[in-house]
Amino acid sequence: MTHADAETALREELHRIAPDIDVAQIDADADLREEFDIDSMDFLTLVTALSKRLEIEMPDADYPRMQSFNALVLYLAGKSGQ
């Protein structure tokens, strides 16, 4: 999966959870939860959806690598290459 594919998947899944937030308006390097105003349940829903959609494992222990939009895209792109 390319970087672009990962970004598309993340955009779409985030839109399901936070349809009121425009990805173009957020700081892609800032805290994802703050930028999208999502709580821990939303985040778990996001991880669950991405993990199923991309058929990858996203261990709890990897959460520190998912802290911003850009970090999460990089993480997803790297993961799917396995």
Contacts with another protein by CB under 8 A lie at 18-20, 33-34, 37, 39-41, 44-45, 47-48, 51-52, 57-61
In the bound complex, what is the minimum distance in angstroms from residue 50's beta carbon to another protein? 8
The residue among 22 and 57 lying less far from another protein, judged by its C-beta, is 57
Tell me how far apart the alpha carbons of residues 11 and 73 are, in angstroms, rounded to a whole number.
10
Give the single-character DSSP code of 31.
Answer: B
The residue among 24 and 41 lying less far from another protein, judged by its C-beta, is 41
In the bound complex, what is the minimum distance in angstroms from residue 43's beta carbon to another protein? 9
The residue among 24 and 61 lying less far from another protein, judged by its C-beta, is 61
Who's near 5: CB < 8 A, 6+ residues apart? 77, 80
Find, among 50, 44, 55, the residue nearest to 72 by Cα. 50
In sequence order, the β-bridge partners of residue 31 are 68
